[in-house]
Amino acid sequence: MKLEELLKKCPKCGSQDKTAQRKIIDEHKSRATLKAIVCEKCGYVFESEENNKKEE
C-alpha cells in the first residue's frame, strides 16, 4: 500500500485512523507478515493478506 493510500479517508466513516494487523510467523515473535490494514472506527478492511495473494 502506498503512502497516498494510507492517508486516504475511510469510504464508510471518513476516519483516517488505521491499524496494521500482523500475523506472527514464529514462536519467538521476531518475524511477522501483514495480515490486514483496518479502519479503527468502523473496521473497514483496506488491504488484507487474501487480497495480496489474489493479485499475484
Question: What is the per-residue DSSP string for the chain?
Answer: --HHHHHSPPTTT----EEEEEEE-STTS--EEEEEEEETTT--EEEEHHHHHHH-
User: Which position has the higher pLDDT, 33 or 53?
Assistant: 33
Return the CATH number of the domain spanning residue range 3-55.
3.10.20
Q: Return the pLDDT at 1.
A: 67
Residue 3, all three cell numbers: 503512502
User: Which position has the higher pLDDT, 49 or 13?
Assistant: 13
Distance CA 50, CA 53 (A): 5
pLDDT, tens digit, for every residue of 14-44?
A: 999 998 888 888 777 778 888 889 999 999 9
Backbone φ and ψ for 26, nearest 5 degrees, come out as -120, 170
